[in-house]
Chain A
Amino acid sequence: MKNPHEPAQSLETIKPHKEEHRRQPSRREFLVNGTKAAAGIGVAALLGNLGQWALSYAADKEPIKIGVLHSLSGTMAISEVSLRDVVLMAVEEINAKGGVLGRPLKPVVVDPASNWDLFAEKAKQLLVQDKVAVVFGCWTSVSRKSVLPVFEKNNGLLFYPVQYEGEECSHNVFYTGAAVNQQAVPAVEYLMSKEGGAYKKFYLLGTDYVYPRTTNKILRAMLLAKKVPAANIMEEYTPFHHQDYQTIVGKIKKFAAGGGACVISTINGDSNVPFYKEFANQGLRAEDAPIMAFSVAEDELRGMDTTALVGHLAAWNYYQSVDTAHNKQFVSNFKAYCKKNNLPDGDKRVTDDPIEAAYFGVHVWKQAVEKAGKTDVDAVRKSVYGQKFLAPGGEIMMDEANHHTHKPVLIGEILKDGQFKEVWRSKGLVKPEPWSEYTNPEKGCDWVKHQGTYKKT
């Protein structure tokens, strides 16, 4: 509350000053003031010129706003915070080299707090209120599904950096993570090959939600198509945060008796530790029945006790251990960035597949904007098609039409220090197929010759 007496008081205090100003200036004062004024005008004119030049320069230099839509709190924060960090690092790199089209990038970071409704709300805020040119964000499939209508309605552009279940083909999303045929399918093919151990029995185990269910549907169709008898495929789901894996591991033990069995795990989050612990404690070894995981990467292993996980497998498109000078530079840059900005764990941070995908997403968008010469979504979209970039894990290519990314597939073995040893790598890049040939052979995704999802003839 304002004091009601205040205005009266201040009026009174002002009065004497006004009286003073009405006093006639002396001759000397007039001269001094005149000189000052003349000098002032000169300086002002000079500054004005400079200012005008600076102003015309600044109009070009007005920053381009980009949105960062990752959960910074709640259950998904553990994974998504790293993606925000790497996006900001990419932005810093780009700005240090003069920005995009000579304009700096200005990130607008929002926190949807692992809440799916809030994702849609924040996406709308970024697109309508902040008018960002592009958004980098989302992790879970449910968050992506909830922002999808917002991006489509407002013609926004989203770069989505995480492997996912496919069966989607949006005009407004670029998928820099893997489609099912770039992760799950080659991983199972590897396990079936002589080199991978020629496994014959498959236990598909996942957490009960859309990604594991869809992935396992595709894998089952694929295994059946490859003449694996239905009796040799088991499928099982557990609720989120499931802790008691005794019965399931017991089942796996019976299933694996006699050899030739492997586990395909799409278990998510905090259920992984109890599962792997129980697996080891019931006397199962990675040699008897390896677990091939699609949701365990370096960033998750960072906080886990890895003793029970050593020797098991994972399939991704990138590992921190990729042995190239380019990747080593990226890893040390990321660690240095985290340390410099006092982020938790500093230089003990690691990189992994989604981090790499989020990172090169920013650079791909930058290249596309430079090719298009403007930030307009429709123009940028067209120039993303076929864009190539030397990502930390090796060169990648955006597809010519289906909004997904051509990437290499890597199978890795978990080591004691939470890193992966590459045991297999695909020959060249694998073309992404948002609609799996096993479950939806008649569907395709093409935004150049068709309008998105189309029926193959």
Chain B
Amino acid sequence: MNATAFFLAALTIAVALAQVETARADAPSGTARSPAVGQALADLGSREDAVREGAARLLIKEADESLLPALEQMRTDGDRSLRMAIKPVADAIRNRAKLRDADPDIRRSAANDLGSSGLTEAIPWLEQAAAGETHRWARYTMQEAAALLRLASPDPTAKLAAASVLGELRSQNAVPALKELAQRATESGPDPDQKRVELAAADALERIETWSAWSTAIETIFRGISLSSILLIMSLGLAVVFGLMGVINMAHGELMMVGAYTTFVMQACFKAYLPTEWFDQYFLAAMPAAFLTAALVGLVLEMTIIRFLYGRPLETMLATWGVSLIFIQTARVYFGDLTSVTAPTWLNGGAQAMVGVYLPYNRLFIIVLSTICVVAIYLLLFRSGLGLRVRAVTQNRSMSACLGIPTRKVDAYTFAFGSGLAGIAGWALTLVGNVEPGLGQNYIVDSFMVVVTGGVGKLAGTIVASLGIGGLNKLLEPSMGAVYAKVLILVFVILFLQRRPSGLFAVKGRHADA
């Protein structure tokens, strides 16, 4: 580039940014701009819409990242119309740069933005990026975005190709545009090109909709499983305490709250005393802490109150309800009303299983966790000495005592174990909900519902009942809405218990009503 052109460029920019007093160090050095770009920068501030738009187009085509600081400066100094004109230009340039970002999520969201921007200039960028893309879903989004942009172009052959690509991709994002195209089929004249495009659109639409029905079904199943796993993890502790010991513990929800607040305290400790790169580990460290704290609280509760009320369910219920109120107020006084637990980064976001099906990591984690808990309880109850004693005491207390089993101790351990499970539930629930004093109250009714429906005293019953209630809830919710789905579930449970008062898996035998 010769010196005259260089000076001309510099001069034009200087004029364009007349109101910008700040000297920009990068402008004259190395990356000199062509006069056209300088002119376009000036035109962005023009009063005429056509001039402004032309300038924006040109700048987008150029998509030179070195323009960004200048644009940013103009944006902060300019008036509203200038800011509005600059925004799409700056966004396009920024998104183009982001297509080369190291993080696939950022590449993806940039492609998504370009796809919905309607800028035909972005098609080659996207196609080029897609060709070199290694991440499956980022590539998918780039292809989809490029096809979406092509679909909006006036050329019928490009449209045709785009429609079939979108059908191939099962792109949910293309539905509105394709619908519009297909709609036109009924109104349009005899133009054969037009007709073909419309047919292709209708064809693509059908493919997408079939796929969408499938993906909705898969997602519904996943949601059902996820809700079931949450119900299960809430009820496991109760299944032990209520099911095996027959103690109606109304403070069970508050033991969950203890677990949740333990997680919160752990997080605060990690934040305060350990280096930041360790922060994500707090969540794992909080699990044993939540279990032990809740178990300890449960042990104290058993030794001070519940021990004296065995065999008196009504009194136990009232006493533990009182305890739960005390816990709630204590938490409110000590921690205030809203305290947040930040999920560790590795549990944020989700995995895309297939087009349109997104599986959040936190929910996958809870599903795995509840499975592990079930297995652990099974092993403990049916494969260990302690479990044998627990079952013996549950079945026949006096006979067990005669045989030398310390029934009091077994009671205390069982209760503490059930409470510890509640603590783990509280720990896991911080991933989906908030941590507040009333946390337990939100879950206690559902937990009792699951245990009672499953059949008191049967672990398998609890599992099946939580799957049934969770699945049914998610099946009903899309059509009925959240409020009525919940009402209907309760009606179902009542009717079911009318028919089978002892739940899904009734304990059979002579000791059943003892």
Contacts and interface: CB of A to CB of B under 8 A. Distances in A.
Contact of B482 (A238, A278, A282, A303): A238
Interface stretch (A7-15, A241-249, A387-395, A396-404): A241-249
Interface string A215-244: 000000000000000000000111101111
Contacts of B223: 246-247, 250
Nearest to B116: A259
Contact of A237 (B219, B352, B441, B483): B483
Contacts of B436: 270
B322 interface: no
Nearest to B105: A283
Most buried by B among A236, A242, A250, A302: A250
Interface string A298-325: 0010111101000000000000000000
B50 to A, nearest CB: 17
Contacts of A43: none
B183 to A, nearest CB: 13
B340 A305 contact: yes
Nearest to A208: B483
B112 interface: yes
Contacts of A345: 336
A306 B477 CA distance: 28
Given A282-B358, A287-B113, A307-B342, A251 B336 contact: no
Interface in B461-483: 473-474, 477-478, 481-483
- Contact size range, B: 35 or more
Given A278-B360, A283-B358, A273 B350 contact: no
A22 B109 CA distance: 104
A77 interface: yes
A285 interface: yes
Interface stretch (B16-24, B168-176, B247-255, B286-294): B168-176
A252 B491 CA distance: 28
Contacts of B342: 305, 307
Contact of A250 (B176, B219, B362): B219
B482 A239 contact: yes
Nearest to B179: A258
A247 B226 CA distance: 11
B198 to A, nearest CB: 18
A253 B483 CA distance: 20
Contacts of A244: 227, 230, 432, 473
B402 interface: no
B352 A283 contact: yes
The secondary-structure label for the interface of chain B is helix
Contacts of A426: none
B314 to A, nearest CB: 26
A168 interface: no
A371 interface: no
Contact of A273 (B349, B434, B442): B434
Nearest to B333: A344
A246 B433 contact: no
Contacts of B441: 241
A305 B341 contact: yes
A202 to B, nearest CB: 15
Nearest to A243: B433
B177 interface: yes
Given A239-B482, A258-B177, A75 B338 contact: no
A247 B227 CA distance: 10
B486 A246 contact: no
Nearest to A238: B482
Nearest to A285: B109
Contacts of B473: 244
Interface string B20-51: 00000000000000000000000000000000
Interface in B67-117: 84, 109, 112-113, 116
A264 to B, nearest CB: 17
17 contacts: A208-B483, A236-B481, A237-B481, A243-B442, A244-B230, A257-B176, A277-B343, A281-B350, A281-B360, A281-B363, A283-B350, A283-B358, A287-B113, A303-B337, A303-B338, A305-B342, A345-B336
Task: List the 7 shortest-distance A-B pairs measured between CB atoms, nearest first.
Answer: A303-B338, A281-B360, A78-B337, A305-B340, A258-B176, A273-B434, A257-B172
Given A305-B341, A344-B336, 6 more contacts: A247-B477, A257-B172, A257-B173, A258-B175, A274-B432, A303-B340
Interface of B: 84, 109, 112-113, 116, 172-177, 212, 216, 219-220, 223, 226-227, 230, 332, 336-343, 348-350, 352, 358, 360-363, 432-434, 436, 438, 441-442, 473-474, 477-478, 481-483, 486
